[in-house]
């Protein structure tokens, strides 16, 4: 899969990849995952949008603010977690990534997860959930479910979550989203066990 002739990875970063002609044409840059290289909690989105393509970091637009707020509510900062995407280049007109594009990028994600080795992977929305679990997922009803999956031959505990953008067009999703983020912090052992602030020793 990681054929060096059409893409390379340096540590956790894909430094060059030409596997998806339409994405290579549309992107300004490759948007790699961001956050600690030993994070216990990794969030997985779909693909970069315009803001991410411009800034070179996942979830830096409105969806990112929703995620940041929910993390803050459980005492976490963005710098405590890793955030990455199924596909690392912006699809034109923000269309969904094609199956071939998801497959082309899968090896990079598998390698990232193998190196980071997180306790928990949180799939944000339908595309990442179905990509990782390899089945159809009704995200709204399955949000908060924990699944023991295999990703690239490696065992990975996965928590299904609605996409943060869903809370922007459907307020009824807010509680589902924030509850799932609280569950994620708990499952990754990043809270004090009472839903309170993490890292209390820092105060």
Residue closer to ligand URA, measured from CB, 47 or 198:
47
What are the structure tokens assigned to 149, written together? 């999956």
Instruction: Using the minimum distance from each CB to ligand URA, give the nearer residue, 83 or 198.
Output: 83
Window 114-153: contact mask with ligand URA (x via CB under 6 A): ----------------------------------------
Over the window 37 to 76, marking each residue x when it contacts ligand URA by CB under 6 A and - when it does not, the resulting string is --------xxxxx--x-----xx---x-------------
Nearer to ligand URA, 51 or 186 (CB): 51
Q: Cβ of residue 48: shortest distance to ligand URA, in angstroms?
A: 5
- Give the C-alpha separation, 109 to 106, whole Å: 5
What length does the chain have? 203
CA distance 160 to 195: 19
The residue number with the shortest CB distance to ligand URA is 45
Select 57 or 186, whichever has its Cβ closest to ligand URA: 57
Residues of the shown chain interacting with ligand URA in the complex, contacts defined by CB under 6 A: 45-49, 52, 58-59, 63, 85
């Amino acid at each position: 899969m990681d054929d060096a002739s059409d893409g390379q990875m340096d540590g956790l970063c894909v430094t060059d990849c030409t596997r998806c002609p339409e994405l290579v044409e549309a992107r300004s840059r490759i948007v790699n995952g961001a956050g600690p290289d030993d994070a216990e909690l990794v969030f997985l989105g779909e693909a970069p949008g315009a803001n991410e393509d411009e800034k070179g970091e996942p979830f830096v637009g409105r969806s990112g603010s929703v995620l940041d707020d929910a993390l803050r509510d459980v005492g976490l900062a963005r710098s405590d977690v890793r955030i990455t995407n199924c596909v690392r280049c912006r699809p034109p007109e923000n269309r969904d990534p094609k199956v071939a594009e998801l497959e082309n990028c899968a090896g990079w994600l598998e390698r990232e997860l193998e190196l980071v080795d997180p306790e928990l992977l949180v799939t944000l929305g339908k595309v990442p959930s179905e990509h990782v679990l390899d089945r159809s997922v009704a995200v709204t009803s399955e949000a908060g479910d924990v699944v023991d999956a295999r990703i690239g031959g490696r065992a990975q505990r996965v928590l299904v979550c609605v996409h943060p953008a869903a809370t922007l067009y459907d307020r009824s999703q807010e509680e589902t989203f924030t509850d799932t983020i609280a569950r994620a912090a708990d499952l990754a052992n990043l809270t004090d066990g009472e839903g309170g602030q993490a890292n209390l020793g820092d105060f």
